[in-house]
């Protein structure tokens, strides 16, 4: 089995105490890689390397053009190693290989986009009547700790790392313990691309009482960017507040997907399938609450059920597989299946799906699952399942569906399907969500703000929103006339 160490100060190293952990492929349920298992000392080493690289190394001082060239070189190397990177995520968490390849392409784009964006973005100048002018200078913030989840291991890590680096910061990245491999390959490639030592460090290990908590408590850290569960986000925000460190939190979701009577049904069914069964629903943006206007309800459900049952289920390494026969881990499988017990359904019924009952019944998979007739207070409607389980509910009026969609502690995203322009504008304006997709899903412009309201997060990233977080904006006021 290949070994993956921490990457600290430009070197791939073992843990101080020599500890390792296996990375388990959830489809085979066998370990497929051995990974360094870090602790507090390894976290401290990584922060010290990033601190030194920031305080006295070339990276924050070399200017945008040179950083841009190095970031593009890394993107080139990622493209050369795209198969290896994609396969790592597929082994680590069971994502279908076609989707993992898509994630790699998007990760490459994260680097290219932010490398160019940081160089091209202008700052503000304020001519003053008093014979002065003021301008904004965006200084790098310092040492950034990035903590990422297991559902898009490479893509969500690079979404943080790329803007942080492009703006001149140094980074310590802690991937989720279940998905350590792709970002280790990334850090190896960064060394090859010519990153100075200590600029991008990767340290492996668990969250609580381990590497994660040690990183968030370290007083030498200047920014913490976190993606993961809402409960973990609250713990991290509390840790950050003790050192007055700004945090960006991208947390859970319970996306509402609203289909009006006048929607293009082919399009709506297509996106309703994608939004909950892509990556087996292990997506913060999943459209896990489907609201169908009464006039199309029955026809939609017939088409939707048929489309869910037609998804090609199988080995995630097979390019023909559309839906992985394994969720990300045994622990996650247990969590998702617990939502299908009678108490969680609250009287709702499973229209299609549920646990596998064939030759895969001893695996960690759940079929594409559609639930109907669940009351609004059922756990399956209220809580984030983070699996391939959607609850379909009929509605009559626009006011009714807006109230249902907004009746959640989350507010990450929502989808609206209608051919009526006024309905689209009115409803998207009324929804409590960081992103609303109209007649589509998952389409991103990296200049646009990304984040959530309520328990879905704090702050926004993307384009100049990432700049706000990863820099210290400084006002410089100059006298022009005496």
* CA gap 273, 101 in Å, rounded: 20
Tokens encoding 92: 């680590």
Region near ligand NAD per CB under 6 A, out of 33-41, 106-114, 129-137, 226-234: 226-234
Active site residue 284: yes
Helix, strand, coil % (nearest 5) of the chain?
40, 25, 35
Does position 383 interact with ligand NAD (CB under 6 A)? The reply is no
Q: Helix 265-277 and helix 294-310: axis angle, to 10°? A: 50
Sheet strands side by side (includes 30-36): 2-4, 30-36, 20-25
> Which residue from 251, 147, 144, 145 is spatially nearest to 208, judged by alpha carbons?
147
> Which residue from 21, 173, 27 is spatially nearest to 89, judged by alpha carbons?
27
* Cβ proximity of 163 and 112 under 8 Å: no
Does position 176 interact with ligand NAD (CB under 6 A)? The reply is yes
Does position 216 interact with ligand NAD (CB under 6 A)? The reply is yes
Give the shortest CB-410-to-ligand NAD separation in angstroms. Answer: 9
Active site residue 41: no
Site residues for ligand NAD, 261-320, by CB under 6 A, read: 284
Region near ligand NAD per CB under 6 A, out of 35-43, 62-70, 182-190, 206-214: 206-214
Whose Cβ is closer to ligand NAD: residue 18's or residue 208's?
Answer: 208
The residues near 394 (Cβ < 8 Å, ≥ 6 apart) are 291, 292, 293, 294, 297
Pick from 26, 60, 96, 212: which binds ligand NAD (CB under 6 A)? 212
Region near ligand NAD per CB under 6 A, out of 62-70, 143-151, 400-408, 439-447: 143-151
Pick from 42, 89, 103, 177: which binds ligand NAD (CB under 6 A)? 177
Does position 435 interact with ligand NAD (CB under 6 A)? The reply is no
Does position 390 interact with ligand NAD (CB under 6 A)? The reply is no
Whose Cβ is closer to ligand NAD: residue 114's or residue 386's?
Answer: 386
> Binding pattern to ligand NAD, positions 230-269, x when CB under 6 A?
--x--xx-------------xxxx----------------
Sheet strands side by side (includes 143-147): 11-13, 6-8, 200-202, 170-174, 143-147, 223-227, 247-250, 457-458
* CA gap 221, 145 in Å, rounded: 7
Catalytic annotation, pick one of 2, 12, 284, 376? 284
Q: Which residue is nearest to ligand NAD (CB)?
A: 207
Phi-psi region of 431 (alpha: psi -120 to 50; beta: other; left: phi over 0): beta
Site residues for ligand NAD, 80-119, by CB under 6 A, read: none
For 191, phi then psi, to 5°, come to -60, -45
Catalytic annotation, pick one of 65, 192, 250, 274? 250
Does position 323 interact with ligand NAD (CB under 6 A)? The reply is no
Whose Cβ is closer to ligand NAD: residue 148's or residue 321's?
Answer: 148
- What number of other Cβ atoms are within 10 A of residue 427's Cβ? 21
Residues that bind ligand NAD (CB under 6 A): 147-151, 156, 174, 176-177, 206-208, 212-213, 216, 227-229, 232, 235-236, 250-253, 284, 384, 386, 412, 452, 457
């Amino acid at each position: 089995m290949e070994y993956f160490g921490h990457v600290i100060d430009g070197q791939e190293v073992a843990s101080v105490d020599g500890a390792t952990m296996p990375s388990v492929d959830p489809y085979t349920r066998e370990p497929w890689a051995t990974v360094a298992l870090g602790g507090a000392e390894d976290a401290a080493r990584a922060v010290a390397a990033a601190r030194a690289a920031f305080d006295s190394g070339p990276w924050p001082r070399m200017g945008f053009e040179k950083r841009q060239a190095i970031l593009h070189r890394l993107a080139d190397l990622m493209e050369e190693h795209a198969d290896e990177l994609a396969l790592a995520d597929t082994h680590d968490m069971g994502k279908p290989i076609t989707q993992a390849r898509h994630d790699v392409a998007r990760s490459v784009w994260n680097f290219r986009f932010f490398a160019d964006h940081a160089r091209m973005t202008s700052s503000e100048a304020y001519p003053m009547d008093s014979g002065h002018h003021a301008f904004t200078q965006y200084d790098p913030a310092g040492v950034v700790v990035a903590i990422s989840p297991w559902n898009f291991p490479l893509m969500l890590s690079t979404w943080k790392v790329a803007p942080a680096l492009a703006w001149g910061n140094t980074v310590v990245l802690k991937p989720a313990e279940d998905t350590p491999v792709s970002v280790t390959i990334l850090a190896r490639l960064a060394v090859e691309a010519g990153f100075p030592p200590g600029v991008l460090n990767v340290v492996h290990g668990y969250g609580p009482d381990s590497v994660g908590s040690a990183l968030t408590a370290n007083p030498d850290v200047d920014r913490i960017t976190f993606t993961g569960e809402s409960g973990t986000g609250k713990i991290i925000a509390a840790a950050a507040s003790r050192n007055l460190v700004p945090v960006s939190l991208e947390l859970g979701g319970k996306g509402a997907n609203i289909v009006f009577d006048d929607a293009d049904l082919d399009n709506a069914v297509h996106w309703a399938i994608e939004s909950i069964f892509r990556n087996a629903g292990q997506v913060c943006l999943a459209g896990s609450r489907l609201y169908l206007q009464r006039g199309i309800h029955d026809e939609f459900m017939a088409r939707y059920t048929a489309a869910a049952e037609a998804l090609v289920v199988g080995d995630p390494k097979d390019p023909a597989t559309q839906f992985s026969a394994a969720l990300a881990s045994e622990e996650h499988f247990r969590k998702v299946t617990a939502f299908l017990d009678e108490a969680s359904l609250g009287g709702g019924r499973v229209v299609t799906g549920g646990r596998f009952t064939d030759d895969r019944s001893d695996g960690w998979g759940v079929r594409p699952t559609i639930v109907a007739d669940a009351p609004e207070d059922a756990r399956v409607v209220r809580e984030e399942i983070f699996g391939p389980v959607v609850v379909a509910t009929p509605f009559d009026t626009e006011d009714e569906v807006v109230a249902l969609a907004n009746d959640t502690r989350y507010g990450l995203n929502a989808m609206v399907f209608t051919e009526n322009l006024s309905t689209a504008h009115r409803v998207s304006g009324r929804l409590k969500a960081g992103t609303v997709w109209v007649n589509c899903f998952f389409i991103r412009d990296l200049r646009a703000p990304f984040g959530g309201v309520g328990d879905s997060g704090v702050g926004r990233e993307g384009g100049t929103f990432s700049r706000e977080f990863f820099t210290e904006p400084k006002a410089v006021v100059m006298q022009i006339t005496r």
